[in-house]
């Protein structure tokens, strides 16, 4: 594995490759990341992984500071997976100007996480734009847990780059709680609470699929999970094709964001 701390040096090495897969991460790697990397290695000749905790997508500087980091363990995982290239850029290397840091999104897209984390997706789009412009990968691999993020990347960056987006399934702990770097901030008790919440929402999804009228029970579900977690930020059902509220049995998806103590988790079913 070749490690680069400069995007330009990586660009010199990688852009001559015809079939490059790119897996962007913020480090603190888990089984979800490992699945993305394995998908890339299977589909592509070479795989680039980035580790960059992007400051422009955090609403609070305290959240940025406490975001879990474990580079030593990440390197061990990536070497074991035989990743070809690792990019660990500095903030100055990624953002040459402040203008690059955020890409504006429309007000109608300020729903779900975008509503409750103003500026978050603008920051995500900014860093992904910089990476795709420079790395010029054939494919970028993203996890379905970040469903809204993928939707916005496709909408705002899809036509700007030739890179194809490969959406990979959500990897779950005990077939329930989605793997997330933030899980490392949870106590054992809150891991169990997260599993309970995931099970409740999955059962609700299956209930609606079998009887669409059960969609009206969403407030009961909100009440159930609010008794398990610290706070439910949102629980919404939207159209998985356009994130609008015109839903039916075949296009609905449940989105949730909640807090376990001071740790915010998201998921979708």
The count of other CB atoms within 10 Å of the CB of residue 253 is: 16
CA–CA separation, 194 and 225 (whole Å): 9
The token pair that represents 89 in the structure block: 């850029």
33 labelled catalytic: yes
The token pair that represents 224 in the structure block: 């159930």
- Whether residue 28 contacts residue 70, with contact meaning beta carbons closer than 8 Å, is answered with yes
Q: How many CA atoms lie within 13 A of 1 on its CB side?
A: 19
Angle in degrees, 0-180, between the axes of helices 218-226 and 188-210, rounded to the nearest 10: 170
Name the one residue in this structure whose structure tokens are 């412009």. Answer: 133
Catalytic residue (choose from 30, 33, 120, 205): 33
CA–CA separation, 203 and 231 (whole Å): 20
Q: What is the dihedral of CA 31, 34, 36, 37, to 10 degrees?
A: 180
| Sheet bearing 263-268, strands edge to edge | 231-239, 252-260, 263-268
The token pair that represents 17 in the structure block: 């490759």
Helix (H, G, I), strand (E, B), or coil: what is residue 82? coil
Q: Which residues are catalytic?
A: 33
């Amino acid at each position: 594995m070749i490690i680069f701390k400069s995007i330009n040096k990586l660009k010199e090495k990688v852009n001559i490759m015809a079939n490059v897969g790119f897996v962007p991460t913020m480090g603190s790697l888990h089984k979800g990341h490992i699945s993305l990397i394995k998908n890339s290695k299977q589909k592509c000749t070479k795989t680039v992984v980035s580790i960059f905790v992007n400051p422009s997508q955090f609403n609070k500087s305290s959240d940025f500071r406490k975001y879990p980091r474990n580079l030593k363990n990440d390197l061990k995982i990536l070497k074991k997976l035989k990743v070809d290239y690792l990019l660990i850029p500095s903030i100055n290397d990624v953002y040459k100007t402040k203008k690059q840091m955020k890409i504006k999104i429309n007000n109608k897209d300020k729903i779900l996480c975008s509503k409750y984390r103003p500026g978050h997706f603008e920051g995500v789009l900014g860093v992904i734009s910089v990476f795709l412009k420079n790395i010029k990968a054939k494919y970028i691999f993203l996890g379905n847990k970040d469903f809204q993020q993928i939707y916005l990347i496709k909408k705002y960056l899809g036509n700007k780059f030739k890179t194809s987006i490969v959406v990979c399934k959500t990897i779950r702990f005990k077939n329930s709680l989605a793997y997330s770097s933030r899980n490392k901030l949870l106590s054992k008790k809150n891991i169990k609470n997260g599993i309970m919440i995931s099970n409740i929402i999955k059962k609700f999804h299956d209930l609606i699929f079998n009887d669409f009228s059960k969609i009206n029970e969403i407030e009961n579900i909100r009440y159930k999970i609010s008794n398990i977690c610290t706070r439910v930020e949102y629980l919404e059902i939207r159209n998985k094709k356009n994130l609008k509220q015109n839903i039916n049995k075949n296009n609905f998806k449940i989105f949730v964001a909640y807090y376990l103590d001071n740790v915010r988790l998201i998921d979708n079913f």
